[in-house]
Each structure stands twice: as C-alpha cells, then as structure tokens.
Chain A
Amino acid sequence: MGYALDFAAVLRGLDQLLWGLALGLIMGLAGLAVGSAIGIVAALAHVFGPQPARTVVRLYVGLIRNVPILVLALFAFFALPQYGIRFSNITTFAAVLAVYAGAYLTESFRAAMITVPQGILDAGRSIGLTGSGVALWVVLPIALRNALPSVGNNFISLFKDTSIAAVIAVPELTFQARKINNESFRVIEVWLTASFLYVGTCALIALTLRRLEARFPKF
C-alpha cells in the first residue's frame, strides 16, 4: 500500500487548528483559575474547617474524581438545560472543567497545607495570630507556593482534557482535526499534526512551569 504524505489539506486548515488550540488554552486557563479558587476554599475547609465541611469536601472530591469528565460534560450540556440551566457549549465545558479541576486541585492544595511544618504554625500562634489567622496568613502563602509544581501538572492534564469538548461540538483543536480528517481523508497527516500541536504545547507549558518553579522555589 503506497501512502504518500501530503500535508496540503492540513496546511489549508492550519488556521482552524491553531484557533482551536487557542480556544483549548483559554478554556484550560479559565478552568484553572476557577478551579484553583474552588480548590483553595475546599482545601482550607478540609484542613481547618469543622467536621461537616470536611465531609462535604470529601464527597465532592470523591465524586468528581471517579466519574469521567465526558459524563459530567454531557450531563451539564444535555441534562441541566431541562432544568433551566442553559449556557453555550464553550461556557458549559469551561464550567465543567473548573468543577473537575477543583476536585484535583483541592487535593494539591490540601497536600501542600498539611505538609507545612508544625513549628511554623506554633510560631504563628506565639505571635498572637488566631486559628484562622494562622490558616490565612501563615499556612496559605506557604501552601500556595509549595503547591505550584502539582498545580502546574494539573494544568497540563486540564489542557489535554479540553480535547473532550470536541464531543459537545466546541470547535477546539480535536474537533477541527476530526473535521479536516473527515473532509480530506488525510488520516495520517491530520493526527500527526494534532498530536504534535498538543505535545508541543504541553512541552512549552512544562518549560514555563519549570521557570516559574525556579522563580518561586518551595518554602
């Protein structure tokens, strides 16, 4: 079987692929921002909150981390509108991504909080801070810094998960690749290119993260 590589069809669609990539990055960043907010609040509640708060956080994390994000996305996109909760597919997916990332980020921030040495907490108390003062002004700043590598890795998986938005017709990279695939049948070129774009972007993100980590080393 001769199969001559011909990237012409892919090159014609390169604009769409790159816009798709940008859309994926935007959804990923939105998911990271909102997910981090959820994760920080949930982790604080789990580490410093009362028992009911811990239970709620544990249920949230356990539920979200064990259900496929595709099921969550389909649920949000097809089931919720029946109850009047209706957004565009891009907003819906970004929101799902945020809730999904929030569960993973809760674990990242929680791990960073509970590894802050006891001596530092004691030092906080000894200069007269209250319990919540220690949580907010001593533990949180250290934890935010120490969670950076883990949060960064979460962002990379989050960015890869944006490909799943293709299933609800969000025109991101995977959706565009499949469209070019179906229109041109350049099956090998399309998926090589899509994979290359994802791998390259992930590598760039990882590189940026290493530099950020060097700039903000662990406490």
Chain B
Amino acid sequence: MQSFLDVLALSSDQLLHGLTITVAVSGVAVAAGIVLGALFGLALTYGSAVLAFPVRVIVDVVRGTPVLVLILACFYMPAGIGLSPGPLTAGALALTVFCASHIGETLRGALLAIPLAQTDAASAIGLTFAQTLGYVLVPQAIRQIAPNLVNTAVEIVKASSLLSAIGVGELLLTTQEIIGRSFKTMEFYALAGGIYLAINLLIATGGSWLERRYRLR
C-alpha cells in the first residue's frame, strides 16, 4: 500500500490542475458576477418598472433556489432548446448568475441607504445623473458592500465545489478521482478542505486589507 505522500507526489500535477480550474471558474464567476450584479443593482434601484420587474424576478428566483439546483438547471435545461453547453460553461454561468443576484440585491440596499439629500446636492451643483452615480453614490456604495463582496467571493469558491456534481474537473472532483485510485479517503478530503480553507482565508485577508486601504477619511 502506498503512503499518502507517495500518492500525493504522483498526483500533485492533477491536483494542481483541479485547483487551477477551481480558482479560474470562481474568478470568472466573481468578475462577471460583479459586472452583471452592478447592472442588476442599478436596474433594481433606478430602473423603470419595465426594467426593474424582470430583474427583480430573476434575482428573487436565483436567491431562492439552491446553487446546486441552479448548476443542474444550467447544465440540463439548455438541451430542451437544442443547446449543449459543456459542464464548465454551464457551471460558470450558474455561479455567475448566483453571484450577480446576491451583489445586485446588496448594491440596491447600499444605494438606497445613501441619504437622498446627497443626490439633491449633486444635482444642485449641476452633476448629471451619470456623474452623480460615478462621483457620489457608487464610491460610497462600494465601500458599504465591500464586506459583502468578500463574503460572496468566499461563497462562490465554496459553491464551485458543487460543479463536481456535473463533472467539471475542479479540485473536489480531482480529489475524488485520486481517492478512487488510492483509497486515501481521509487524507485527501482533509487536504481538499485545507486547500479551500487556504483560498478563502486569502480572500478574506486580501478583502480586509483592501477595506483598510480604501477606508474613507
């Protein structure tokens, strides 16, 4: 029987590849989710009813549905209209929509929490709506939602482990493959857990550094 370290040495490339996919798919989902979430947040706060209502439905449905169901839905449903995205595309899409819905809702809250007097003051000194948004509201709202953004990023990294259920070769599926060959169940699940822990602590540390760096005053 091979020792844990032997197996680890043999499978380190494979593990590293899985880790890369986990980091890449989480990174893409968070980046795209921030962009889409910003649009969602603006539509929810300032959009006309025609725009805000569909966004509200999307955001509420996504937030009320478990991530695993979103992932399975993104994976299986497109077949109904003749599309067949690979598991990676479907998974990245599901995580992006999940991320965007959470960010959109948080951003709406943050924008609404800024006193209306500031918007009035901005228009009194002649700023357009876009300028008000860019110079007055968004800089405050971003600081307000920063802790939430960090939490969401951590949730996305954790949720990316669910992509193993549709066959994306990310860290957890790779771990399961290695366990299937080596039967080092305890060791490799603990290792995978440790790696997720390390990624998320890194995100949390980076996040609080950024928060301190850009604190107002």
Show the binding face of A for B, using Cβ within 8 Å. Answer: 1, 3, 62-63, 65-72, 74-75, 78-79, 82-83, 160-164, 166-167, 174, 177-178, 181, 185, 187-188, 190-191, 194-195, 198-199, 202-203
Find out whether the CB atom of A68 lies under 8 angstroms from the CB atom of B161.
yes
Find out whether the CB atom of B72 lies under 8 angstroms from the CB atom of A174.
yes
Given known pairs A71-B172, A82-B186, A167-B165, the reply for A66 and B65 (CB within 8 Å) is no
Find out whether the CB atom of A187 lies under 8 angstroms from the CB atom of B64.
no
Q: Which residues of A contact B146 (CB under 8 A)?
A: none
The docked-state distance in angstroms from the alpha carbon of A74 to that of B162 is 12
Given known pairs A66-B200, A70-B164, A199-B61, the reply for A79 and B68 (CB within 8 Å) is no
Given known pairs A66-B201, A75-B190, the reply for A199 and B161 (CB within 8 Å) is no
Interface window among B4-12, B33-41, B73-81, B117-125? B73-81
In the A-B complex, list the 10 residue pairs whose CB atoms are closest, starting with the nearest.
A199-B64, A163-B66, A1-B82, A66-B200, A191-B73, A68-B161, A160-B66, A68-B158, A188-B80, A79-B186
Interface SS of chain A: helix
Interface window among B47-55, B135-143, B191-199? B191-199
The docked-state distance in angstroms from the alpha carbon of A3 to that of B82 is 9
Find out whether the CB atom of B193 lies under 8 angstroms from the CB atom of A71.
yes
Find out whether the CB atom of B65 lies under 8 angstroms from the CB atom of A198.
yes
Show the binding face of B for A, using Cβ within 8 Å. Answer: 60-61, 64-70, 72-73, 76-77, 79-82, 154, 157-159, 161-162, 164-165, 172, 176, 179, 185-186, 189-190, 192-193, 196-197, 200-201, 204
Q: Which residues of A contact B68 (CB under 8 A)?
A: 163-164, 166-167, 174
Find out whether the CB atom of A202 lies under 8 angstroms from the CB atom of B64.
yes
Q: Which residues of B contact A70 (CB under 8 A)?
A: 161-162, 164, 172
The docked-state distance in angstroms from the alpha carbon of A195 to that of B185 is 33
Name 11 extra pairs, CB < 8 A, besides A82-B185, A191-B72. Answer: A66-B196, A67-B158, A71-B193, A71-B196, A72-B193, A74-B189, A174-B68, A174-B69, A188-B81, A195-B69, A199-B65
